Structure 1
Amino acid sequence: MGNIPLEVKNIYVKRKFSNSEEFFEIITAKLEKEGMINEGYYDAITNREKTYPTGLDTGQIKVAIPHTDCQFSNTTQLIVTTLEKPVKFKKMDDPDSEVNVSVIILILFDNPNKQLELLSEIMKIVKNQELLAGILKANTPEEVYQLLNQ
C-alpha cells in the first residue's frame, strides 16, 4: 500500500468482542493510555458511529472504518483489528441495516488534510477481498503489517 501510517503495535489479531460498543471501549482505553487520543474521543467516535455508521458490505469479508474529528487525535495512524467472530456494525450506506464485520480499520488523524488521502488508501484495502482474507487469516500483527505494506 505504500504510504499508510501503520505500526505493528497498532495491529490486533483474532480479537473477541461481544459487540461494537465493547470494541470501542477497549480500543479507546488502549489508545488513551498510549497518548494517541484526547479526552472526549470515546464520546466523539461512538456518537459519530450512531449518526454516520461505518460498516461496509464489502463482500464476503465485511469491514468497518470508524473515525472521528481530528481534534480528538494526536497522531495519524491506522489501528487494524481482526476479529475471531464478526460483530455487527450499522451500514454506512443504509444505517437501518447491519453488517457482520470481521476487520475493523480505525482511522486516527490529527490533520484534516490527511483524511481524503488516507480514506482512498483504505478503500483500496477494503475493495480487495483476497487481501482481506489474508489479513483475517494472519496469526500475528507482523503478518498483517506485511500484507498491508506489499
Structure 2
Amino acid sequence: MKDLGLEFDKDLVLIDVDASSDGEAIEKVATHLLNKGLVKESYIKAIMEREKVFPTGLPTEGYGVAVPHTDVEHVIEQAICIATLKNPVPFKVMGSIDEMVDVKVLFMLALKEPHSQLEMLQAVIGIVQKPDILEKICTEKDTQTIFDIVKYEFENIEE
C-alpha cells in the first residue's frame, strides 16, 4: 500500500454537485473542505485564482477531469475531495491557453507539503487514465462505492 499521507474518507466524496461553471464547481467543493476544517478560509479564493492562471482540466478518455489545487499555506490538513458534477462544465485544459474540456469529476487537492503535489497528481492521473475506473467514478451514485474504488486504486499504485 502506498501511503499518500492525506485525509480521505467517504465524507470527502460528493455526488451530483450542481454547478453551472468551473468557478461555481470549485467554490462548492472547496467550501466542503472548509466546512470539514481541512482548509483555511483563504483556500477558496486561492484555488479559484490559481485555476485562472494554471488551469487543471484534463481531457481524459470518456469524461473530462479537473484537479484543482493551490499553495500549501491555505491548507490545515492534507486531503483529497472527489466530486462528480450533475452536468459537465467547461474547464480550461492544463497547459493550454484557450482549449476547453467538459469536466464531469473533480479531484480537489489540499496539500500541506510542496513536494507532495507531484506525487499526488501522479496518483490521480494514474486513476483517470483507466477508462473503466473513471467510468465507474463518474456514473456511481453511492459515496461509499466511489470511496472504495479510489481508495483501492491509491493503495495499489505502482511504486
TM-score of the superposed pair, with normalisation by structure 1:
0.92
Aligned to 2:20: 18
How far apart are residue 25 of structure 1 and its match? 2.3
Secondary structure of 2:115's match?
Answer: helix
Q: Residues 59-116 of structure 1: CA distance to partner in whole angstroms, max 9, x if unpaired?
A: 2211000000011011111100011210110010313121000110001111113222
Question: In the TM superposition, what are the counterparts of 1:1-150 in structure 2 within 5 Å?
Answer: 2-4=2-4, 5=6, 6-150=8-152
Distance in 2, Cα, partners of 1:24 & 1:116: 20
How far apart are residue 2 of structure 1 and its match? 4.9
CA contact under 8 A between 1:25 and 1:42: conserved in structure 2? Answer: yes
CA contact under 8 A between 1:73 and 1:110: conserved in structure 2? Answer: yes
Matched residues, percent identical?
A: 29
CA contact under 8 A between 1:15 and 1:83: conserved in structure 2? Answer: yes
Secondary structure of 1:80's match?
Answer: strand
How far apart are residue 33 of structure 1 and its match? 2.2
RMSD: 1.5
Q: How many residues are aligned here?
A: 150
CA contact under 8 A between 1:2 and 1:149: conserved in structure 2? Answer: no
Indicate the larger mover: 114-123 or 58-67. 114-123
How far apart are residue 120 of structure 1 and its match? 1.4
- Note closer, same or farther for the CA distance 1:91–1:125 as it changes in structure 2 (3 Å cut): same
CA contact under 8 A between 1:54 and 1:92: conserved in structure 2? Answer: yes
How far apart are residue 3 of structure 1 and its match? 3.5
Unaligned regions of 5+ residues in structure 1, if any?
none
Counterpart code for 1:148: V
How far apart are residue 34 of structure 1 and its match? 2.1
How far apart are residue 135 of structure 1 and its match? 0.6
Q: Which has the higher strand share?
A: 1
Counterpart code for 2:107: I
Unaligned regions of 5+ residues in structure 2, if any?
153-159
Counterpart code for 1:109: L
Distance in 2, Cα, partners of 1:141 & 1:3: 21
